Chain A
């Protein structure tokens, strides 16, 4: 059995960082990631189960880690060596128990909610965040019964999805996959959950103008979530900045009202709301902007197109960036993060949010599974590779937009790679 293992190796790390200057993912062959023989990870407790991955996605945060572009903020929240892969659908060969305590039969498919909060770490009492259903905000991700790791895929104890050896999953992480779902549907549940959490925490109100910067997997999932998860968006105008033609087509099909190239998005927002421009910023811009890219440029662009007292939601993982915060201060903007998942609702995330969106608290993953089914998000999986071709896979993921792809995954089911 094989696994892609990420080791702490500074020379390889430096080499990968240099290579990534020529394109994201270009340093996979010389970086700290290596394909090694691997054994099935041990189970940290009786409430843990083995999951054999079928598909595992390559996420933007994975690429940032491989490229050496991740913020050093995360250094204390990972443990080496780790097997990446937190977007996973797999098989419970020996069965298991799901997050609700329901049994899962041997051979059942499951997706994992990868956050390693208090429950998987056997920490009692739960921290205030976990106790209130916000496990993504757990402050104990470096403590308890496991090595540090904010998620499966960054923890030395659990293994990760980029492996044929399997990974260890805690019951609280497991969600059964509906029978009707393909493996491709299931593997995008995790990014869909990120999108669901982002849109439900954004406080969108009826009639709002909502802009989405970036139309990769996250951006497209946000577009889908805006239409299918929040009740308020029916009266909203949804505008998307998408760089590549296939991204524009997908944005359209997922329900965007206006789709333009990213450099035209601020102009389009200005036209839509009838704003003036002052100091390079819209005097009356979008009510909410989702930044699904996370670069200095995208954050600056988002802050420039949001209205005074508007909200910019960082969905894409940012790193160390440089932006001028004077306009944020002067225009009383909210720049908020949207990380991971947990429980959603029932109260709106802001006073003017839509109170009808979520009537009762529900797991973000449950909502995401419904979203994937309703929106057909499995079609976002456009290329798959066996582990052995990991360098190609990662380079493909790093250039997904340019190469007409959205989500690139490792296919652990067979040795043949496919693209579509």
Chain B
């Protein structure tokens, strides 16, 4: 039986309560009659033989690229770059896609006699991965073959000696990327496409770039002009990356792009109820919900966080395509839409969302208040094509505990951003103008980024810029069940219950508003007509 497509439910008197994520917890909320609930499509059938599919893709590339084996030769310099800890979410059960793909690339390289091979984690300004995280992503065999010899490195956007400036785009954007990658005879990029924003030229132009380069598209004006940044053709973020990618290609860097897509089988069977539609819950699902929610209510937040971050997703690969970047990405985007797209008619006055415990930037870490904002207003708000789900001047209601809590190892500059910057202003443009430079050039943040496991000093700014489109578009943002002080620091309103939040929202959008609930995760993309 083929998986069912996404679905928009209209709530009536007989509709059971709707599941809302709330960080490491969840709740069932009764939505007003007439509300809509958007459900993701069911998981697409995975590839039956992913290894064979990978080998086929490498041997039958798309676009203007030769098959990978014919691009490999003895004496050449080969670099394999791959996506970092931010993908996929949650981290997938082993073997990770990166391991499967890189093993095939390395087999082909070995067959061709290539012995100058280096692996680079394309982390841009994200934190360095730990050894355990790397082993999980690429497997012990690859890790042990490369890491001890210094051939597995993590991109360092602050190592001037390891960067090369390739020039300026026709818009005057600096293109500065990893030197080893740029000077290789072949750069193979291994991507996991979780959402439509990922991949394409963004893989190299962002993942292997320096701050000097990134600042041209990671800024509030670009994000305000990206409507949404999940829709490549209406995203200034992507336009900039595409300009840079084309300049990289014109500079003589040969990129062999390998992109993969996943189905949205996001949680293991014990949490199966999380990806089912509530009216279809069976006794096992109800029992699972009751048992886990009761247990989590009695579990300290820190322990609950550990439990959830130990969850590995049973994602399976649904497609793999390789070759020239743009041709590959066009196919990838279609596969993402096939899995995640849901047609929705018309906008809503109020958009509700239950935010889970994880975002791309807090794997094995804390979803601090800035990341809560980014997850809700950056990611969830932008999961649309056409028009935003919520109308201009509408209200987003997010459910999350939003603790005033930070991981000092992963997010040191976030702490100062929250204290020093958001206490002054929440306007993304003012934030950028007044504060970005001092954070980006702070030597301590740079040191922690380069030698520890810290996000770059400028990263919390990017998280705030990710919210720029939503902040410009919305009339108000209400957080249900959040730490009041933290919520107010973000510039949002705090409500104790969903009912209170709806009353507060009515003050903004008027009486009898329309309401739509984004039932995610699993991730979905709304195609709003």
Contacts and interface: CB of A to CB of B under 8 A. Distances in A.
Nearest to B457: A271
Interface in B409-458: 415-416, 419-420, 438, 442-444, 447
A268 B444 contact: no
Interface in A248-281: 260, 264, 267-268, 270-271, 274-277
A264 B415 CA distance: 9
B444 A277 contact: yes
B108 to A, nearest CB: 45
B179 to A, nearest CB: 26
A275 B415 CA distance: 16
B419 A267 contact: yes
B435 to A, nearest CB: 10
B461 to A, nearest CB: 14
A276 B447 contact: yes
A268 B419 contact: yes
Contacts of A271: 416, 420, 438, 442
Contacts of B442: 271, 274
Residue picked from B416, B442, B444, most chain A C-beta under 10 Å: B444
The B interface is mostly helix, strand or loop, or mixed, namely: helix
B448 to A, nearest CB: 9
Nearest to B439: A271
A268 B444 CA distance: 13
A264 B419 contact: yes
A203 to B, nearest CB: 27
A275 B444 contact: yes
B249 to A, nearest CB: 38
A241 to B, nearest CB: 12
A277 B415 CA distance: 15
Contacts of B443: 274-276
Contacts of B415: 267
Contacts of A275: 443-444
Contact of A267 (B416, B438, B447): B416
Contacts of B444: 270, 274-277
Contact of B419 (A260, A274, A276, A277): A260
A53 B419 CA distance: 45
B119 to A, nearest CB: 30
B22 to A, nearest CB: 28
A268 B447 contact: no
Contacts of A276: 443-444, 447
Contacts of A260: 419-420
B442 to A, nearest CB: 6
A276 B447 CA distance: 8
A212 to B, nearest CB: 17
A304 to B, nearest CB: 14
A270 B419 CA distance: 13
A260 B420 CA distance: 9
Nearest to B442: A274
A268 B438 CA distance: 13
Contacts of A277: 444
Interface in B374-427: 415-416, 419-420
A47 to B, nearest CB: 55
Contacts of A274: 442-444
Nearest to B447: A276
Contacts of B419: 260, 264, 267-268
A12 B415 CA distance: 47
A148 B430 CA distance: 61
Residue picked from A264, A268, A271, A277, most chain B C-beta under 10 Å: A271
A274 B438 CA distance: 9
B507 to A, nearest CB: 27
Nearest to B423: A260
Interface string B317-337: 000000000000000000000
Interface string A7-29: 00000000000000000000000
A270 B420 CA distance: 12
Contacts of A270: 444
B246 to A, nearest CB: 37
Nearest to B415: A267
Contacts of B447: 276
A64 B444 CA distance: 39
Contacts of B416: 267-268, 271
Nearest to B419: A264
A271 B457 CA distance: 11
A270 B457 CA distance: 13
A274 B416 CA distance: 13
A257 to B, nearest CB: 12
Interface in A36-80: none
A267 B447 CA distance: 15
A260 B442 CA distance: 19
A267 B423 CA distance: 15
Interface string B246-270: 0000000000000000000000000
16 contacts: A260-B419, A260-B420, A264-B419, A267-B415, A267-B416, A267-B419, A268-B416, A268-B419, A271-B416, A271-B420, A271-B438, A274-B443, A274-B444, A276-B443, A276-B447, A277-B444
Given A267-B419, A274-B444, 16 more contacts: A260-B419, A260-B420, A264-B419, A267-B415, A267-B416, A268-B416, A268-B419, A270-B444, A271-B416, A271-B420, A271-B438, A271-B442, A274-B442, A275-B443, A276-B443, A277-B444
Sort A-B residue pairs by CB-CB distance and give the 8 closest, nearest first.
A276-B444, A264-B419, A271-B416, A267-B416, A276-B443, A274-B443, A277-B444, A276-B447
Interface of A: 260, 264, 267-268, 270-271, 274-277
